[in-house]
Amino acid sequence: MEKKRRSGNSSNRQVASGNVPVDRRRGAPRKLNSVLADLITHRGYAQQQTNEELAQAWNQTVGQGLAESSRVGQLRRGILEILVSNSVVLQELQFGKPTFLADMNRLLPQHDLKELRFRVA
């Protein structure tokens, strides 16, 4: 690959024979899908989308009454934290925990939830 020096202020930029700019400090040009994946990860868009999916599935699983008194927290290592408004709601959710976990896994199999943890917040 023949490289030619470009005139201008940027002494680190070169043009390859295919007229594709290459920055010597950063390596070869990157594919757009790679750049977008890094951007999505860096900005947290994937996490935001996951949280929205979990919240929708949770609301569908427990119904409107319990959904108003609880919200999805963080997901770590297959453990989904559910924040509840008071201890009465926490107790009620504890009784239905096995059913809720099964329903959540049915709605969102890609997350492979292992446990639901309830916490008053």
The 10s digit of each residue's pLDDT in 89-118 is 999 999 999 999 999 999 999 888 999 999
Assess whether pLDDT exceeds 80 at residue 119.
yes
Residue of higher predicted confidence among 15 and 93: 93
Please report where in the chains the tokens 């096995």 appear, as a residue: 98
Say which residues have a Cβ less than 8 Å from residue 39's Cβ, sequence separation at least 6: 45
If one counts the domains in the chain, the total is: 1
| Within a domain: 108 | yes
| Within a domain: 46 | no
Assess whether pLDDT exceeds 90 at residue 19.
no
| Residue 90 belongs to domain spanning | 53-120
| Within a domain: 65 | yes
Q: What is the mean pLDDT of the chain?
A: 79
Q: Which amino acid is at 12?
A: N
Residue 78's CATH number? 3.30.300.180
Say which residues have a Cβ less than 8 Å from residue 37's Cβ, sequence separation at least 6: none
| Within a domain: 60 | yes
